[in-house]
C-alpha cells in the first residue's frame, strides 16, 4: 500500500476531485491520487460536508484504504466510519464505550454502535443531550446521489430525537428555482433531500446564519453544529460550546438525541494557543474576510487570540471573519481581546500561548491577490451573501443599486434566509434590487447551487469563503472585492 503523508489538512470539498486526485495546486499533495493509499494528514479543513465527499469517494472506489489523523476530526472520522474506511487517531486516549449504557438512553442498536465507535476514536466515554443541532449536507450538489441514498435509508427507519434540529442551505431557492435557472433534474433531487429532512423532524430554516433568525442555544451551553461558519461564530461570538462537527455526525446525533462530550465542549480545551497581532487598520467586511482567510492559513488548527483590531467589529464583520477562517483552514474558535465573551470576561487562560505571529496589510493584500482569478470585464454573475446576508447587508446592496441598472449579460444574486428575504421585501429592499435587474434568492447560495451547470464562468463575490470554493468546486473564475467596487463595475 502506498503511504502518503502531508503536513497540510485536506478540504474534501475542493482539494480532491471525484476520482481521488488532489487538484489544489497550492497543496503539497497536488497531482497525486489518494485512492487506495494510507493517507496521513493532520485533519480536515474547510467545509463540514467533507464527510459526505469521503463516503462518495468510497462508494466509487476512489477513497484512501486507511486514514491516519493527527488530531480528532469528525469530518474525516465520520466519512471513514460510514464509508467503511480504516481510520486511526494515534494521539487520542484509549477508551471503551459501554454500548449497553447507550441503549439505556433509548438509542437504537445500529446508532449506538456508530456513536460508540466515534466516541472511542475521540477518546471519550461521556455523552450529553443533543438539544440543539444544525445539520450540514443539505444541498444535493454537495452530498450527491450517494448522500441522498444514505439519507433515504436513515429516513425510512428513524426520526430525530433532538428537539431543535435546523438545516443548512439547499442548492436552490425552493420557491423560485426556475427563475434562478436551476436544471429541473437537480430541482427534483433537491426537493427530495428537503422532504427527507422534514420527515425526520427538522425545522426548515435552510440557512447558514441561524443566529440571524433567532435559532441558537444560550451561551455556555452544549450544541452540535456542523456548518463551519456557524461553528466558528457560535463558539467565538456567542460563547456556545460546540465542535466543528460534520454533516453526517450531526445527522446521527440528532437521531440519537445525544452526542459525545469532547474537545470544545470542555472549558479547558478552549484556551488560545497562538497570539495574533493585527498590525494594520481594518475597514469593513472585506478586510475582516481577508483576516479570517489569513488566520485559517497560518494558525494550523490552533485557537488564535487576536490583539490590535482597531475597532469593535460589527456582527457582519464577525460573520465573515468566522466564515473565511473556517473555509481556508479549520478555525472553529477564536478570541478577540476585549470583544468576544470569553476573552472580555477573562474566562480563558493566556498561559498556553505557544506561538506569536503578526498580520499586516501586505499579507492581507497578498490574500486578496490570490483570491482574484477572473477578469472584471468578463463577469457573468455577481453574488453576495456567503454566509447568508443579514438585513443590514441587503439594505446596503439595495442602496448601492437604487436607481441603477445592471449591464446586459450580468446576473446578480443576494443570497439570504427566507426570513430575512421576507422582511427585506416588506421594507422595499427586494423591489429596489429587482428593479435594477438583480434578485434576492433564499434557501441557497452561490457555492452550493449548481452554477457550473447554469452558464456563469466568472463570478464576483465579497466573501472570502465563497472565493475559496468557487474556483474548483464550482469551476468559476473569481473577482473578489467589496460590494461597492463590484457593483460599480456592473451597473450602467
Nearest to 19 by CA among 6, 29, 32: 32
> Quick one: cell of 383?
453574488
- Residue 107 inside a domain? The answer is no
470 shares a domain with 386: yes
Is residue 83 within a helix (H) or strand (E), and if so which, with residue range? Answer: helix 74-83
Q: What is the pLDDT of residue 91?
A: 81
238 shares a domain with 127: yes
Q: What is the pLDDT of residue 93?
A: 84
229 shares a domain with 125: yes
130 shares a domain with 248: yes
334 shares a domain with 423: no
Quote the domain boundaries for residue 45. Answer: 3-88
- CA–CA distance, 121 with 413 (Å, rounded to integer): 42
Q: What is the pLDDT of residues 44-61, one digit of tens each?
A: 998 999 999 999 999 999
Low-confidence ranges of the chain (pLDDT < 50): none
Nearest to 375 by CA among 459, 463, 483, 287: 459
Q: What is the pLDDT of residues 208-263, one digit of tens each?
A: 999 999 989 999 999 999 999 999 999 999 999 999 999 999 999 999 999 999 99
List helix spans (H) across 282-329: 284-298, 315-328
Q: What is the pLDDT of residue 92?
A: 82
Please, which residues bridge with residue 241 across strands?
222
Rounded to 10 deg, the angle between the 361-371 and 284-298 helix axes is: 90
Q: What is the pLDDT of residue 70?
A: 93
Nearest to 420 by CA among 441, 398, 403: 441
- Residue 108 inside a domain? The answer is no
303 shares a domain with 397: no
With contact defined as beta carbons under 8 Å apart, do 137 and 248 qualify? Answer: yes
252 shares a domain with 151: yes
- Residue 24 inside a domain? The answer is yes
459 HSE (CA, 13 A, CB side): 30
Nearest to 224 by CA among 166, 292, 148, 269: 166
Q: What is the pLDDT of residue 1?
A: 86
* Residue 93 DSSP one-character state: P
CATH for 156: 3.30.499.10
189 shares a domain with 274: no
Q: What is the pLDDT of residue 457?
A: 97
- Residue 93 inside a domain? The answer is no
Q: What is the pLDDT of residue 309?
A: 95
Amino acid at each position: 500500500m502506498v503511504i502518503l503523508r502531508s503536513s497540510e489538512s485536506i478540504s474534501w470539498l475542493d482539494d480532491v476531485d471525484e476520482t481521488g486526485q488532489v487538484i489544489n495546486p497550492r497543496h503539497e499533495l497536488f497531482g497525486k491520487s489518494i485512492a487506495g493509499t494510507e493517507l496521513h494528514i493532520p485533519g480536515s479543513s474547510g467545509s463540514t460536508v467533507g464527510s459526505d465527499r469521503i463516503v462518495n469517494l468510497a462508494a466509487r472506489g476512489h477513497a484512501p484504504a486507511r486514514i491516519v489523523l493527527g488530531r480528532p476530526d469528525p469530518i474525516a472520522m465520520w466519512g471513514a466510519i460510514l464509508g467503511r474506511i480504516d481510520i486511526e487517531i494515534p494521539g487520542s486516549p484509549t477508551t471503551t464505550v459501554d454500548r449497553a449504557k447507550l441503549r439505556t438512553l433509548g438509542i437504537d442498536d445500529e446508532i449506538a454502535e456508530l456513536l460508540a465507535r466515534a466516541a472511542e476514536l475521540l477518546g471519550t466515554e461521556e455523552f450529553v443531550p443533543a438539544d440543539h443541532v444544525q445539520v450540514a449536507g443539505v444541498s444535493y450538489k454537495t452530498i450527491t446521489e450517494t448522500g441522498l441514498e444514505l439519507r433515504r435509508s436513515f429516513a425510512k427507519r428513524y426520526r430525530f430525537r433532538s428537539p431543535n434540529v435546523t438545516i443548512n442551505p439547499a442548492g436552490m431557492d425552493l420557491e423560485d428555482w426556475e427563475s434562478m435557472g436551476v436544471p429541473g433534474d437537480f430541482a427534483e433531487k433537491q426537493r427530495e433531500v428537503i422532504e427527507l429532512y422534514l420527515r425526520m423532524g427538522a425545522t426548515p430554516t435552510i440557512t447558514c446564519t441561524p443566529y440571524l433568525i433567532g435559532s441558537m442555544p444560550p451561551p455556555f451551553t452544549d450544541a452540535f453544529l456542523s456548518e463551519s461558519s456557524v461553528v466558528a461564530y457560535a463558539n467565538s461570538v456567542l460563547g456556545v460550546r460546540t465542535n466543528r462537527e460534520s454533516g453526517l455526525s450531526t445527522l446521527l446525533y440528532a437521531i440519537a438525541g445525544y452526542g459525545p462530550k469532547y474537545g470544545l465542549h470542555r472549558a479547558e480545551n478552549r484556551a488560545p494557543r497562538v497570539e495574533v497581532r493585527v498590525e494594520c487598520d481594518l475597514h469593513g467586511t472585506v478586510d475582516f474576510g481577508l483576516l479570517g482567510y489569513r488566520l485559517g492559513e497560518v494558525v494550523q488548527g490552533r485557537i488564535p487570540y487576536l490583539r490590535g483590531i482597531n475597532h469593535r467589529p460589527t456582527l457582519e464583520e464577525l460573520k465573515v471573519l468566522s466564515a473565511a477562517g473556517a473555509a481556508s483552514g479549520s478555525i472553529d474558535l477564536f478570541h478577540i481581546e476585549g470583544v468576544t465573551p470569553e476573552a472580555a470576561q477573562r474566562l480563558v487562560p493566556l498561559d498556553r500561548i505557544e506561538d506569536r505571529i503578526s498580520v499586516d496589510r501586505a499579507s492581507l493584500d497578498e490574500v486578496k491577490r490570490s483570491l482574484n482569478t477572473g477578469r472584471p470585464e468578463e463577469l457573468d454573475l455577481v453574488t453576495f451573501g456567503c454566509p447568508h446576508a443579514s438585513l443590514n447587508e441587503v439594505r446596503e446592496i439595495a442602496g448601492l443599486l437604487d436607481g441603477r441598472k445592471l449591464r446586459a449579460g450580468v446576473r446578480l444574486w443576494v443570497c439570504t434566509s427566507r426570513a430575512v428575504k421576507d422582511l427585506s421585501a416588506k421594507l422595499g429592499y427586494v423591489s429596489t434590487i429587482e428593479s435594477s435587474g438583480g434578485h434576492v434568492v433564499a434557501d441557497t447560495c452561490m457555492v452550493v447551487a449548481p452554477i457550473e451547470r447554469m452558464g456563469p464562468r466568472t463570478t464576483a463575490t465579497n466573501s472570502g469563503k465563497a472565493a475559496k470554493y468557487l474556483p474548483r468546486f464550482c469551476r468559476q473564475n473569481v473577482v473578489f472585492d467589496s460590494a461597492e467596487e463590484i457593483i460599480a463595475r456592473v451597473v450602467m
